[in-house]
Amino acid sequence: MSAGARRTGLSTPALIGVIFGAMIMVAPLIWTLLLSFKSNADLMRDSATAFSGPYTLENYGAILQGSQVFRWLLNSAIVSLGTTAGVLILCSLAGYGFARLEFPFRRTLFVFVLLGLAIPEQAVILPRHQLFAELHLHNSYPGLILPGLVAPFGVFFMTQYFRAIPRELDEAAMLDGASRFKQFWKVLLPLTIPAQATLGVFTFLGSWNDYWWPLISATRSDRFTLTVGLASSQMNYAQTSGLGFLMAQAVFASIPILIVYIIFQKQIVRAMAGAAVR
């Protein structure tokens, strides 16, 4: 805080503007929450009944019994955690390699990886879909996880982080007779935990919220992730589930990620800002 520290209070017009903006941010969320606690019958009559009682937990009860939301939640958790673990392992290994080891074509390969930052998903998603179809990877966890593992930004990020660690540490370990892998695993890796946290949270969020790839790769409803599952129930809501139930699903699906957000707020903000400044 340097620039803003001189004035701490907000001028009245600015404060009104900020409060007005915050209301726009919050109102849709509160509306969703209210709808989710109303019976579908009440909402069929008039959704404005959401502003007053009686409120009920029947929509949440319906989720607990027999809806597929739990299955989707589990799929999302497996895919996101798998992707996060894979990215952390691959990017740490590669980051250490690029930052510390000398090998033929090191610079060329590093630039080759950085070029990947300029490739948007649209340029590869259709041929990748073909490729995965030939390998029978659709509707499987590996099929959902593998694309997320290719994170050029993660490699760049970890390489920068390893470079910033003083070389004396490796040399001391080497004099003690530690092998390359031991130097990496025992000496350097523990020092990168803050970077792992940032990259991990960033990857988890991206994977959890990913829509395009799971939409085309997971076509069986028991393989849907939460995002795709919610999209499918949203598209045929008129025939099947009621408005209240749909909103309870939205609330239910937001809870895990909001918990992650609240716990890792600092890392998330830093990761998102860092990713953009690349």
Partner 1 sequence: MRTPGSWRRFEGYAFVGPFLLLYIFILVYPLILGIGISFHRADLFGARQWVGTENYARLLADPVFHQSVGNSLKLVLLIVPPLTIIALALALALNRPTKTAAVFRGIFFSSSVLSVTIVTLIWRFVLTPDAGLVAKAMQALGRDPIPFLSDPNLTIPALAITTIWWCIGLPMMLFLAGLQQIPGDIYEAASLDKASRWTTFRRITLPSIRRTLILVVMLQTAAQLQLFGQAQLLTAGGPSGTSRPIVLYIYEVAFGRWELGYAAAAAELLFLIVLAVTLIQYWAVTRREPER
Q: For the segment 109-138, give every residue that binds partner 1 (CB under 8 A).
A: 109, 113, 116, 118-131, 133-134
The answer to whether 143 contacts partner 1 (rule: CB under 8 A) is no
Q: In this structure, is the dihedral angle defined by the CA atoms of residues 58, 60, 65 and 68, taken in order, positive or negative?
A: positive
* # binding residues, partner 1 (CB under 8 A): 99
CB 82 within 8 A of CB 143: no
In the chain, what are the helix, strand and coil shares in percent, each to the nearest 5? Answer: 80, 0, 20
Closer by beta carbon to partner 1, 166 or else 277:
277
Contact region with partner 1 (CB under 8 A), list: 54-62, 77-85, 185-193, 203-211: 203-211
Nearer Cβ to partner 1, position 64 or 119? 119
Interacting residue with partner 1 among 192, 208, 217, 267 (CB under 8 A): 208
Residue 178 burial (10 A CB sphere; 0-12, 13-18, 19+): middle
**Beta-carbon contacts of residue 149 (< 8 Å; ≥ 6 apart):** 83, 86, 87, 90
Q: Report the 10 Å Cβ neighbour count for 212.
A: 13
User: What DSSP character marks residue 167?
Assistant: T
Per-residue contact track with partner 1, 171 to 190, x per CB under 8 A? Answer: x--x-----x---x------
CA angle 137, 140, 141 (to 5 degrees): 115
Q: Least Å distance between CB 152 and partner 1?
A: 7
Nearer to partner 1, 41 or 119 (CB): 119
Contacts of residue 133, Cβ cutoff 8 Å, sequence gap at least 6 = none
Q: Does 28 bind partner 1 (CB under 8 A)?
A: yes
Work out which of 12, 54, 65, 102 binds partner 1, going by CB under 8 A.
102
Smallest distance from partner 1 to CB 251, Å: 9
Instruction: By CB under 8 A, name the one of 31, 60, 141, 185 that touches partner 1.
Output: 31
Residues 253-272, interacting with partner 1 (CB under 8 A): 253-254, 257-258, 260-261, 265, 268-269, 272
> What is the C-alpha to C-alpha distance for residues 213 and 211, in angstroms, rounded to an integer?
6
- Which range of residues in 55-63, 77-85, 192-200, 247-255 is near partner 1 by CB under 8 A? 247-255
Q: Locate tokens 């939205």: which residue?
A: 250
Q: What is the dihedral of CA 270, 192, 112, 128, to 10 degrees?
A: -70
> Footprint of partner 1 on residues 227-246 (CB under 8 A)?
227-228, 230-231, 234-235, 243, 246
**Out of 80, 226, 241, 267, which residue is the one contacting partner 1 (CB under 8 A)?**
226
Binding mask 57-76 for partner 1 (x = CB under 8 A): --------------------
Of the candidate residues 37, 96, 161, 245, the single one contacting partner 1 (CB under 8 A): 96
Residue 67 CB, nearest approach to partner 1 (Å)? 15
The alpha carbons of the chain give a radius of gyration, in whole angstroms, of 24
CB-based contact 37:31 (threshold 8 Å): no
Nearer to partner 1, 54 or 104 (CB): 104
Q: Residue ranges of the alpha helices (H) in 6-68?
A: 12-36, 40-45, 58-64
Residues with Cβ within 8 Å of 82's Cβ and at least 6 positions away in sequence, in order, are 141, 145
